[in-house]
């Protein structure tokens, strides 16, 4: 019996519950079949589709209003929340876990909770019954020696338990370990020298039943301010695999650096065509190359050539296992943690110029409406004629004489690319595709690797050109695979949650905007909130009770309306928050933001495992050989793992950027800056520095000359006596007063205009 059939059998039982003896009797399982039943129940429980309420008793998660499984998200004040992995009828959002129950687990643990009564507003309290999966086999933090022993204080403040380090477990068995490029391992000869250093510890005993955590040091990373330690901390905090195992390194080193004649058999030869790559100036691996021409019938021919990683990374090999574990490459400001070893990612798989490289190609014919008139997919070989950058292509298309002279033979080709990209973009706009052009931070370094500033990452038409071509190829491959007999991995983006849309509409209305969703059926509730000090506060909430008529066109029109307005930044950010996260799935639910019926990721197999899987599926479909690839539940598990890896990488990248910003500003306390008010709130003004892509807060009780209050109806901070107003878009001069390194926050005050000096009230510490 398959896992799905077993789940359906239990679902059909009274109350969707069954115990092991009952299942043995009903299914007639004996001997090996009984062992397979135990294994199937274990798999379903691990995936969260069944809940083992007590030993041998199982309930279908999707049918339970009493139990739920999810990740514990701790607050530094001791309480936590669990967001159920499966929808629970009547529950709106997460389950509150009080401190006395939350202390049974650690932040990030996957837990089974029993919920109390679900209130009318969709809220519920719960208690942790058991921990299903531990999130932290290791914890990174600061080693401290005190009167009561030796401990490591976790760097992540949501992990509240200090880890005891018994005597004799203070040093790694193999000695100090660190792999920062160009940095000597810290030399520590005594336990006393460890005090205040950053270490990584393996947990030997987890906190439970009132007992604390116990661990042993496995890595000594250095002092908190040592060069590169911040990257090492973030890597370990997010448990990013960052060392390739010896068997992976050996396999990578054994891959030939040249292509043999046998490898070219059965491949289309594109080496006579002026194919180019277009990437950023600092890119080291090149996944994609493009070529465009105009056909006699007026249509365009678009060739998108993608590195044929699947030729080199075969299923079941050590490199494949490590690639799946990593899921994606992680890009930090000054280094990367690649998915594949450098021998592959920057050498034989990378589409470097003037070298033969194996590719999997999408050959598209696109008509004048931007629709695909014909498509073909084939293994091939290319020899890129140029390694172009976004800057060089942009200058060339803008008429820069030097660039047009340097790349004179390619100028007509790039002009055709521009025409096709604009055509494809117009098609996407017509169907409702949303383009949030939010600025990205770019950390700048000097020649010694020290951070010297933060600016907005440059973006020009060349970026859009490549994006349009990659989107077209991804859609074409997704559509092709959807019409085969193979299960596939889709990149899906589901419709927004009505509650989040309604919350956005409330904010947008204050600025005179709306998505135009019309009336949403709602119900009003009076509820009681818990304050951090344990007191309670009564308030009203409104929750949607029905469906919502919403399309991506409505987001698209609002994005166009606010373009260039002072409130563009905050409303774009809030619009983005109202949308769900894109993810990988074997069930095609479409892509809301792209307004695409079917979409996948095909174009970056060097840095994303889902793309590598799509290459394998496409190759199998082309060859008619579908027997050896994961399908069904196995492919679903890969999709879910890749979604989690992507979120983990994004969190790590975001955290390090914020950390570097704060450290960069730590030496600038007392300096003044031009700034822009980007948001207002009851506790003050959020400002962004004009010359540095850095944000911070001006607390409301430090504003000069008056007592100020936040007026929510107009989203302004207004003086009670002077009626002076601060609103989004105002330009101000601020002074940096405080840097909170632990919370990654900056606190500013306004400069007095008439005295040229900052006005400061007593700072809240």
Q: In this structure, are 459 and 510 located in the same domain? A: no
In a domain, residue 629? The reply is no
The answer on 103 and 156 residing in a single domain is no
Cα 495 to Cα 82: distance, rounded to the nearest angstrom: 23
Q: What is the average pLDDT score of the chain?
A: 88
CA distance linking residue 159 with residue 541, whole number of Å: 31
Sheet containing strand 57-60, strands side by side? 17-19, 57-60, 50-54
Q: Do 233 and 252 have their domain in common?
A: no
Mean pLDDT lowest for which of 51-55, 81-85, 159-163, 269-273?
51-55
Query: Among 205, 239, 273, which residue terminates a domain?
Result: 239
Query: Which of 133, 153, 170 lies at the terminal end of a domain, its last residue?
Result: 133
Note whether 126 and 163 are same-domain residues. no
pLDDT per residue as tens digits for the range 508-524: 887 888 998 765 555 55
| Burial of residue 735, with CB atoms counted within 10 A of its CB: 0-12 exposed, 13-18 middle, 19 or more buried | buried
Residue 265 maps to a domain: yes
pLDDT at 148: 86
Structural domain contains residue 638: no
In this prediction, residue 3 carries a pLDDT of 81
23 lies in which domain range? 3-62
For residues 55 and 19, give the distance between their C-alpha atoms in angstroms, rounded to a whole number. Answer: 9
Quick one: 505 and 387 in the same domain? no
- 215 beta partners: 203
Q: How many domains does the chain have?
A: 6
**How far is the C-alpha of 466 from the C-alpha of 430, rounded, in Å?**
19
In a domain, 289, yes or no: yes
CATH code for the domain in which residue 745 is found = 2.40.50.140
What is the maximal distance between C-alpha atoms in the chain? 88
Whether the per-residue pLDDT at 571 is higher than 90: the answer is no
**Mean pLDDT in residue range 454-464:** 88
Residue 471 has pLDDT above 80, yes or no: yes
pLDDT band at 754; cut points 50, 70, 90:
very low
Per-residue pLDDT reduced to its tens digit, 482-492:
999 889 999 99
What does the alpha-carbon distance between residue 38 and residue 3 come to, in Å, rounded to a whole number? 11
**DSSP-assigned beta bridge partners for residue 328:** 608
Q: In this structure, are 370 and 263 located in the same domain?
A: yes
- CATH number of domain containing 35: 1.10.10
Q: Is 372 exposed, middle or buried (0-12, 13-18, 19+ CB in 10 A)?
A: middle
CA distances from 233 to 23, 142, 180, 566 (A): 48, 10, 11, 37
**pLDDT tier, 764 (very low <50, low <70, confident <90, very high otherwise):** very low
- Choose the final residue of a domain: 113, 133, 153: 133
523 token code pair: 């119900």
Q: How many residues does the chain have?
A: 765
Residue 107 lies in a domain: yes
> In terms of domains, do 451 and 470 share one?
yes
Position 647 scores a pLDDT of 95
Do 188 and 124 share a domain, yes or no?
no
Q: Name which residue leads in pLDDT, 473 or 59.
A: 473
**644 within domain boundaries:** no
Closest to 761 in 3D by CA, of 717, 719, 710, 700: 700
pLDDT tens digits, one per residue of 381-395: 999 999 999 999 999
In a domain, 697, yes or no: yes
Q: What is the dihedral of CA 53, 59, 60, 62, to 10 degrees?
A: -60
pLDDT at 760: 45
Residues 333, 297 share a domain: yes
One domain for residues 280 and 407: yes
Q: Tell me: the pLDDT tens digits for 21-76?
A: 888 888 888 778 888 888 888 888 877 788 887 888 888 877 777 888 889 999 88
Over residues 236-276, the pLDDT tens digits come to: 999 999 999 999 999 999 999 999 999 999 999 999 999 99
Q: Which tokens is 637 given?
A: 């598990």
**Residues 173 and 207 occupy one common structural domain:** yes
Note the Cα 662 to chain centre separation in Å: 21
Residue-level pLDDT at 738: 94
Task: With beta carbons less than 8 A apart as the criterion, state whether 221 and 140 touch.
Answer: yes
Q: Which residues pair with 710 in a beta bridge?
A: 717
* Best CA proximity match to 467, nearest among 357, 348, 652, 603: 603
| Co-location of 29 and 57 in the same domain | yes
Query: Is 335 inside any structural domain?
Result: yes
CA 261 to chain centre: 41
Structure tokens at 75: 């607050």
């Amino acid at each position: 019996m398959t896992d799905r059939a077993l789940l359906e059998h239990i679902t059909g039982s009274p109350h969707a519950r069954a115990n092991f003896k009952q299942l043995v009797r009903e299914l007639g399982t004996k001997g090996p079949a009984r062992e397979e039943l135990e294994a199937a129940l274990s798999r379903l429980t691990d995936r969260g589709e069944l809940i083992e309420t007590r030993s041998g008793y199982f309930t279908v998660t999707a049918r339970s209003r009493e139990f739920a499984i999810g990740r514990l998200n701790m607050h530094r004040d001791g309480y936590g929340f669990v967001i159920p992995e499966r929808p629970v009828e009547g529950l709106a959002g997460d389950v509150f876990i009080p401190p006395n129950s939350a202390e049974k687990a650690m932040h990030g643990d996957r837990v089974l909770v029993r919920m109390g009564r679900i209130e009318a507003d969709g809220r519920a309290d719960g208690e942790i019954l058991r921990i299903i999966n531990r999130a932290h086999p290791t914890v990174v933090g600061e080693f401290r020696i005190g009167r009561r022993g030796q401990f490591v204080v976790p760097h992540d403040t949501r992990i509240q338990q200090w880890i005891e380090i018994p005597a004799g477990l203070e040093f790694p068995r193999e000695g100090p370990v660190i792999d920062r490029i160009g940095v000597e391992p810290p030399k520590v000869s005594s336990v006393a020298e460890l005090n205040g250093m950053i270490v990584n510890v393996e947990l030997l005993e987890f906190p439970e039943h009132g007992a604390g955590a116990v661990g042993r040091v496995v890595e000594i990373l250095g002092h908190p301010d040592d060069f590169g330690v911040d990257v090492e901390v973030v890597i370990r905090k997010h448990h990013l695999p960052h060392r390739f195992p010896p068997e992976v390194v050996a396999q990578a080193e054994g891959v030939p650096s040249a292509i043999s004649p046998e490898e070219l058999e059965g491949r289309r030869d594109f080496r006579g065509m002026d194919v180019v790559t277009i990437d950023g100036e600092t890119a080291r691996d090149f996944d994609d190359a493009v070529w465009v021409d105009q056909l006699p019938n007026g249509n365009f021919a678009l060739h998108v050539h993608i590195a044929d990683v699947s030729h080199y990374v075969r299923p079941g090999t050590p490199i494949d296992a490590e690639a799946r574990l990593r899921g994606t490459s992680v890009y930090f400001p000054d280094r990367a943690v690649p998915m594949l070893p450098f021998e592959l990612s920057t050498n034989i798989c990378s589409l470097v110029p003037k070298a033969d490289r194996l590719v999997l190609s999408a050959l598209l014919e696109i008509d004048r409406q931007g629709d695909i008139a014909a498509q073909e997919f084939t293994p091939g070989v290319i020899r890129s004629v140029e390694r172009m950058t976004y800057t060089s292509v942009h200058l060339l298309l803008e008429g820069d004489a030097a660039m047009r002279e340097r790349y004179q033979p390619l100028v007509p080709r790039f002009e055709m690319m521009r025409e096709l990209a604009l055509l494809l973009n117009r098609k996407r706009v017509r169907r409702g595709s949303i383009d949030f052009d939010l600025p990205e931070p770019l950390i700048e370094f000097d020649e010694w690797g020290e951070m010297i500033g933060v600016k907005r990452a440059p973006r020009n038409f060349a970026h859009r050109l490549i994006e349009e071509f990659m989107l077209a190829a991804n859609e074409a491959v997704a559509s092709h695979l959807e019409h085969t007999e193979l299960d596939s991995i889709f990149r899906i983006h589901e419709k927004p949650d009505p509650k989040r849309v309604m919350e956005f509409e409330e904010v947008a209305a204050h600025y005179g905007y709306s998505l135009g969703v019309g009336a949403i059926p709602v119900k009003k509730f009076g509820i009681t909130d818990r304050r951090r000090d344990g007191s309670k506060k009564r308030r009203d909430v409104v929750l949607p009770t029905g469906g919502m008529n919403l399309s991506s066109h409505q987001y698209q029109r609002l994005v166009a309306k606010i373009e260039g307005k002072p409130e563009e930044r905050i409303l774009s950010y809030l619009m983005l928050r109202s949308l769900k996260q894109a993810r990988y799935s074997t069930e095609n639910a479409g892509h809301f933001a792209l307004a695409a019926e079917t979409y996948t990721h095909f174009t970056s197999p060097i840095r994303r495992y889902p793309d590598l899987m799509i290459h394998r599926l496409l190759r199998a479909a082309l060859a008619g050989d579908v027997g050896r690839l994961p399908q069904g539940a196995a492919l679903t598990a890969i999709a879910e793992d890749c979604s989690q890896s992507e979120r983990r990488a994004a969190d790590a990248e975001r955290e390090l950027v914020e950390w570097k910003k704060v450290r960069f500003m730590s030496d600038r306390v007392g300096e003044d800056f031009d700034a822009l008010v980007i948001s207002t709130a009851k506790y003050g003004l959020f400002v962004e520095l004009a010359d540095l892509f850095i944000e911070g807060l001006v607390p409301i009780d430090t504003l000069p000359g008056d007592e100020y209050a936040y007026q929510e109806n107009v989203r302004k901070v207004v003086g009670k006596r002077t009626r002076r107003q601060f609103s989004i878009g105002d330009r101000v001069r601020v002074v940096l007063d405080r840097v909170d390194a632990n919370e990654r926050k900056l606190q500013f005050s306004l400069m007095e205009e008439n005295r040229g000096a900052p006005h400061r009230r007593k700072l809240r510490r």
